[in-house]
Amino acid sequence: MILDSKIPSGPIEQKWDKHRAEVKLVNPANKRKYRILVVGSGLAGASAAASLAELGYNVDCFTFHDSPRRAHSIAAQGGINAAKNYQNDGDSIYRLFYDTVKGGDFRAREGNVYRLAQVSTNIIDQCVAQGVPFAREYGGYLSNRSFGGAQVSRTFYAKGQTGQQLLLGAYSALSRQIGAGTVTMHTRSEMMELVVVDGHAKGIVTRDLVSGKIESWAGDAVILATGGYSNVFYLSTNAMACNVTSIWRAHKKGAGLANPCFTQIHPTSIPQHGEYQSKLTLMSESLRNDGRVWVPKSANEKRAPHEIPEQDRDYYLERKYPSFGNLSPRDIASRAAKEVCDEGRGVGPGGRGVYLDFSAAIHRLGEKTIAERYGNLFEMYERITGENPYKVPMRIYPAPHYTMGGLWVDYNLMSTIPGLHVLGEANFSDHGANRLGASALMQGLADGYFVIPNTIGHYLASDTGNKVGTDHPEFKKAEAEVQARLHTFLSIKGKRTTTSFHRELGMLMWNNCGMARSEASLQQALSRIPEIREEFWNNLNVLGSGLEMNIALEQAGRVADFLEFAELMCWDALERDESCGGHFRTEHQTEDGEAKRNDQDFCHSAVWEYTGTDSKPIRHKEELTFENIKLATRSYK
Amino acid sequence: MKLQLKVWRQQNTNTEGTFADYTLNEVSPDMSFLEMLDVLNEQLLGKGQDPVAFDHDCREGICGSCSMMINGKPHGPENMTTTCQLHMRKFNDGDNIVIEPWRASAFPVIKDLAVDRSAFDRIIQAGGFISVNTGNAQDGNTLPIPKPDADSAMDAAACIGCGACVAACKNASAMLFTAAKVAHLGYLPQGQPERNKRVLRMVNQMDSEGFGNCTNTLDCEAACPKGISADNIARLNRDFLKAKLKGISA
């Protein structure tokens, strides 16, 4: 596997301009000869599909949802970062770049991250022009707030629904192109297989989720923008249908998968309340701007929170990280919560929770101001828990939320399969071992609006292999494989449901490859996963047929892929014998329990090559060099 | 809690549906309504019966997927709450609960509780956007927008496209949905150049999809889980009339 990152030479602030000046272009008349398949319609997919169609390409866009507007980007609450420095508080492109590289614990490529910071400002402009109703000050200018991991206010937001508004912006741009006939939208259509012909990505096979029809689609390039794999943990803040299938299928066809063990556990989710629970609900990180996190000092505390006096409370984030306090980065805040709960000081049922207390902010600013800032989040909390956070501190606990790992891509966002491009959370590129808050929206839109429209032409104008149609034998072969797989699910006729397998896998991953990992826990998971997988293929119960809407059948395919992918995640976590960012190996910690990096041996991205379901994958390395930021121990103290 | 469910079952668009009765014995008050249905489905699968199909995804009340009539009300009894955010503590032990899909000819049933809402997408495709290509934009702060306008735009833009407004309406009108988008873009200076054409095109599309007419009974506003105001409908009517009087063609 050749890993050429194609980072342009020269000073970092000139790389992107230089690259854009040097890449090959497709002339306007020729663009309409190309067909691009975009899988996914979230921020990255919708923005890419719309922008490419505006350029003149023919675009087919696929989503398993009933409408592109339902992609899970819609659930992002807090905001989107941009280096505008509207607040005159010392922000700059360099500082956003620096914060992102440092926040990612020095496991991301400098060149990509710098470009992300550069285009961040264009994103805000584009979204404003589309009519995204960002929050504004009384003078009519855009408002900002601060977010975890940064000491400047660079986060743009639309109440607590920033993801929704940005997605609806991208959806409106996409809808305009659908209306104009330049994008053909395929809803309720799930990608089942990638088709590679002579080494080039040439198409996909989909299943129509209503009719069950298996169909092939041929294109000149394929873009995957299918999000992350947090649902490998079963319980996560992701939507129910989020899955690993498209990137796993691509991986099995030869695309390198990078750093799968880099998963983000978000510190502020509503704690789990029961066995039957289907998902965890996030409370925006923005709450940490005004909420103070604490637990009782004593493990034997029995009093209600308002009866516990100040001297018996431990504001542990403020105590341990005085300069960042409650705004410490996510991985650090999550681990600190786990630590105090492991000490027996957790609150709520099962002792898996910490308080997020707004009483000081309400006292300082008044209930009205707090309601203006967080009203919808407070309401959501009350609906779910039945408790009023204006009166009683919220209870929060970390939950799987985002995955930094994903398909390896070069500077052009192309994977190791020529023609296969990967955008947004589905790729591995920008967040290293930990993502900062309000940076996911930024990356998804950067990739879709501003990077891929500039880079895909370079591939199309180079060697793309032969033009093929869906009558090519590779398509027929892929279709037959998909059919066979569906047939197998339906013919096992065992006793257990897909959900029960998913839950079992999720629990194993959370306990053994979650917030803290060790060699022993990972070895245990690696021996257990194949056993669960074997039982899955022998004792699964899926009813009905493949020729109708069949939700159990849809889930079976996704869970089958999680059962293979989980093993790779554990291999990655095991072989990355260091702690960094969200990857915390208990063997590697400093005296005060912080992640201890090993730059000597692990200053690289691990890129995995598939070798078969029951054989160990091959680990390749892309070395990371830091020319602009000095490799340093991350400190938020 | 023990519950008696009456659930609409329909194999596909072309077959007739009917209600089926189910009993659930151990429902926790902390479950969400959809988690209660998950439990039902696991129970059905265990008995070798087809699970109930329903649309759902984020389960945070924002994606707009979930769509069911619960005891005759879109999204059930709690105000300003989507089905996924409705919790069983709002029900009592022994309750009978009737669960149906959205009923509107413009939203054909696909299976059980899942309906086809692509008509909403086509209304947006007809004009629910600002025509700006990627890369055209100037600096975001060159266009100050009074905070009250930005706030009003945001309130209208909060629509999640679930279709509860249509389901609640005796005429299955899509006026609140369409008006929310017309108002969102109409409040903003960026939305002015296409304001007239937008409203005409979106209303034309709405009518051609087979949605009924608005008779101002405002059930839509009462049913909306995001509190979209029916004032937006007045704005749509005004914009529509203005565009017509100006003699603008769609």
Positions of A marked catalytic: 330
Q: What is the largest CA-CA distance in chain A?
A: 74
Q: How many beta carbons lie within 10 A of that of residue B241, not counting itself?
A: 11
Where residue B176 sits, what CATH number does that domain have? 1.10.1060.10
- For residue A591, the enclosing domain spans 473-602
B122/B76 same-domain check: no
Tell me the nearest-neighbour CA distance from B9 into chain A, angstroms: 13
Structure confidence at residue A284 as a pLDDT band (50, 70, 90) = confident
Residues of A in contact with B81 (CB under 8 A): 383
Residue B71 lies in a domain: yes
End-to-end alpha-carbon separation of chain A, Å? 41
Number of domains within chain A: 3
**Tokens standing for residue A138:** 């009384």
Residues of B in contact with A50 (CB under 8 A): 134
Statement: residue A38 has pLDDT above 90: yes
A43/A101 same-domain check: yes
At residue A210, the pLDDT reads 97
At residue A636, the pLDDT reads 76
Q: pLDDT higher for B174 or A145?
A: B174
Residue B139 lies in a domain: no
Q: What is the CA radius of gyration of chain A?
A: 24
B154/B202 same-domain check: yes
Tell me the nearest-neighbour CA distance from A162 into chain B, angstroms: 10
Encoded amino acid at B143, one letter: L
Is ipTM over 0.90?
yes
Residues of A in contact with B151 (CB under 8 A): 133
CB-based contact, A178 to chain B, within 8 Å: yes
* Inter-chain touch A239–B141, beta carbons under 8 Å: no
Number of domains within chain B: 2
At residue A635, the pLDDT reads 78
B34/B68 same-domain check: yes
3-class SS string, B25-81: CCCCCCCEHHHHHHHHHHHHHHCCCCCCCCCCCCCCCCCCCCCCEECCEECCCCCCC
Interface of A with B in 442-471 (CB under 8 A): 449-450, 453
A332/A375 same-domain check: yes
- From the list A76, A83, A237, the residue with the least C-alpha distance to A165 is A76
Residue B74 lies in a domain: yes
Tell me the nearest-neighbour CA distance from A585 into chain B, angstroms: 31
A485/A509 same-domain check: yes
A428/A513 same-domain check: no
A89/A194 same-domain check: yes
Statement: residue B77 has pLDDT above 90: yes
The CA angle A580-A584-A589, to the nearest 5 degrees, is 85
Residue B221 lies in a domain: yes
Residue B214 lies in a domain: yes
A250/A307 same-domain check: no
* Inter-chain touch B46–A497, beta carbons under 8 Å: yes
Residue B137 lies in a domain: no
Structure confidence at residue A350 as a pLDDT band (50, 70, 90) = confident
A499/A590 same-domain check: yes
State pTM to two decimals. 0.97
- C-alpha A335/C-alpha A265 separation (Å) is 9
B122/B222 same-domain check: yes
Residue B61 lies in a domain: yes
pLDDT > 90 fraction of chain B, expressed in percent and rounded: 99
Residues of A in contact with B80 (CB under 8 A): 379
Where residue A257 sits, what CATH number does that domain have? 3.50.50.60
* Inter-chain touch A133–B31, beta carbons under 8 Å: no
B126/B238 same-domain check: yes
At residue A275, the pLDDT reads 83
At residue A634, the pLDDT reads 79
Structure confidence at residue A331 as a pLDDT band (50, 70, 90) = confident
Rounded mean pLDDT of A134-146? 95
B11/B105 same-domain check: yes
Give pLDDT tens digits for A378-435: 988 999 999 999 999 999 999 999 999 999 999 999 999 999 999 999 999 999 999 9
At residue A77, the pLDDT reads 87
Query: SS3 for A124?
Result: helix
> Across the interface, which of B65, B81, B140 has its CB nearest the CB of A70?
B65
B91/B193 same-domain check: no
A385/A321 same-domain check: yes
At residue A90, the pLDDT reads 96
> Which residue's structure tokens are 């299943």?
A207
Is there a contact between A462 and A24 (Cβ–Cβ < 8 Å)?
yes
Is there a contact between A408 and A428 (Cβ–Cβ < 8 Å)?
yes
B126/B13 same-domain check: no
What average pLDDT is seen over chain A? 95
A174/A236 same-domain check: yes
Residue B250 lies in a domain: no
B230/B122 same-domain check: yes
Give pLDDT tens digits for B123-137: 999 999 999 999 999
Q: Which residue of A has its CA nearest to B139?
A: A125
At residue A563, the pLDDT reads 98
What average pLDDT is seen over chain B? 97
- For residue B33, the enclosing domain spans 3-111
Of A398, A425, A442, the one marking the end of a domain is: A398
Residues of A in contact with B205 (CB under 8 A): none
A42/A159 same-domain check: yes
CA A392 to chain centre: 32
Structure confidence at residue A146 as a pLDDT band (50, 70, 90) = confident
* Inter-chain touch B12–A549, beta carbons under 8 Å: yes
Where residue A482 sits, what CATH number does that domain have? 1.20.58.100
Residue A49 lies in a domain: yes
* Inter-chain touch A50–B134, beta carbons under 8 Å: yes
B100/B122 same-domain check: no
A90/A229 same-domain check: yes
> Which residue's structure tokens are 């209660």?
B36
> Across the interface, which of B38, B48, B60 has its CB nearest the CB of A543?
B48
Give pLDDT tens digits for A575-609: 999 999 999 999 999 887 788 999 999 999 999 99
Where residue B96 sits, what CATH number does that domain have? 3.10.20.30
CB-based contact, A124 to chain B, within 8 Å: yes
pLDDT > 90 fraction of chain A, expressed in percent and rounded: 90
B76/B152 same-domain check: no
> Across the interface, which of A125, A239, A544 has its CB nearest the CB of B63?
A239
Residues of B in contact with A168 (CB under 8 A): 157
Query: SS3 for A326?
Result: helix
Residue A628 lies in a domain: no
Which helix (H) or strand (E) element contains residue A380?
A: helix A367-385
B34/B56 same-domain check: yes
A534/A497 same-domain check: yes
Q: pLDDT higher for A613 or A473?
A: A473
Give pLDDT tens digits for A168-211: 999 999 999 999 999 999 999 999 999 999 999 999 999 999 99
